[in-house]
Amino acid sequence: MSIGGSVTADKRSWLRQVRQSRILYLLLVPTFLMLIAFNYWPAITALYRSLYDWDGAFYEQFIGLANFGEIFNDPIMITAFKNMALLTMGWVVIRVVFPLLGAELVFNLRSAKAQYVYRVLFVIPMVIPQIVTLLLWRFMYGMYGPINEFLRVIGLGHLARGWLGDFDFALPAILFVGFPWIDAFNFLIFLAGLIAIPSSVLESAALEGAVGLKRIVLVDIPLILGQIKLVVVLTLINSIREYQMILVMTNGGPGWATMVPGLAMYQNAFLYGRIGYGSAIGTVLFVILLGLTYLNMKYVQSEIELKA
């Protein structure tokens, strides 16, 4: 059969499969329409509006790339991007290392019952709304909060301060929120990856003398690099978009000490009536996320992916 005939046959086969499953395709139509209406269309509109000076209602003027030029000349935005970079690097380390350590500890417990109990204990915080956690930490950082009171009790009262109002300590205080940093979602991803490692591999590693930290470095991490890559991508996305935590804890202060691009986007679009400028900030964040995700997916590969 010729190539043209093969393509025609494949097309007919595909059309026949579509006709046979037409009810299922029709059921998917509402989902795709909602995705287009609430996910893709707003993003496309933001890209278009980033080229305008627009207040969201009455005033609208095409200004080309002026909004993007303002972003890279605005001292507030320069500080915001620096803060975002610092927080993102810190959160990537925190949300990979500590959940992985927790997963390793639970995975190596001999008792299946103990493993179950610890899994439940690590997952329980997921049911607590994030706003509750943030308000609790904001109270703890207060001048008369538990942290400062503890310092006074142990004779270190001279170190007490309004942590979130201190230019030098506000950003590290944001990074410290959630200690001991064992994110339940990442913990479960790593634990599932460790459980999926064949027992024969672990037994062979033990015979070769790869135990404890040596086994984690030489066996576990290479085999769950796919899970690590997923967590890194999700952490990058969430960290670069993050502004809710900053909004609740400091609202970008003191001064611009904890300002991040996501919060600047929100403030410009919804508080200052500069939706065009806010859309430009969102477009820049999208490009950064796309680039980092691409680099991570292309150059960070697990042992399984390399063999494939």
pTM of the shown model:
0.85
Q: How confident is the model at residue 7 (pLDDT cuts 50, 70, 90)?
A: low
Say whether 300 sits in a helix, a strand or coil.
coil
pLDDT at 83: 96
Q: Report the percentage of the chain scoring pLDDT > 90.
A: 52
pLDDT at 163: 94
pLDDT at 168: 92
Task: Report the chain's mean pLDDT, rounded to a whole number.
Answer: 88
Query: Nearest 5°: phi and psi at 223?
Result: -80, -20
Residues 6+ apart with CB under 8 A from 1: 9
From the list 68, 115, 88, 127, the residue with the least C-alpha distance to 277 is 68
Quick check: 177 and 112 in contact, CB under 8 A?
no
Q: How confident is the model at residue 11 (pLDDT cuts 50, 70, 90)?
A: low
- For 48-109, where are the E strands, in sequence order? 52-54, 60-62
**Per-residue pLDDT reduced to its tens digit, 233-284:** 889 889 998 999 999 999 998 999 999 999 999 999 999 989 999 999 999 9
Compute the distance between CA of residue 268 and CA of residue 177 in angstroms, rounded to an integer.
26
Residue linked to tokens 């025609």? 8
**Per-residue pLDDT reduced to its tens digit, 141-176:** 999 999 999 999 999 999 999 999 999 999 999 999
Query: Nearest 5°: phi and psi at 301?
Result: -130, 140
Residue 1 in this model has a pLDDT that exceeds 50: no
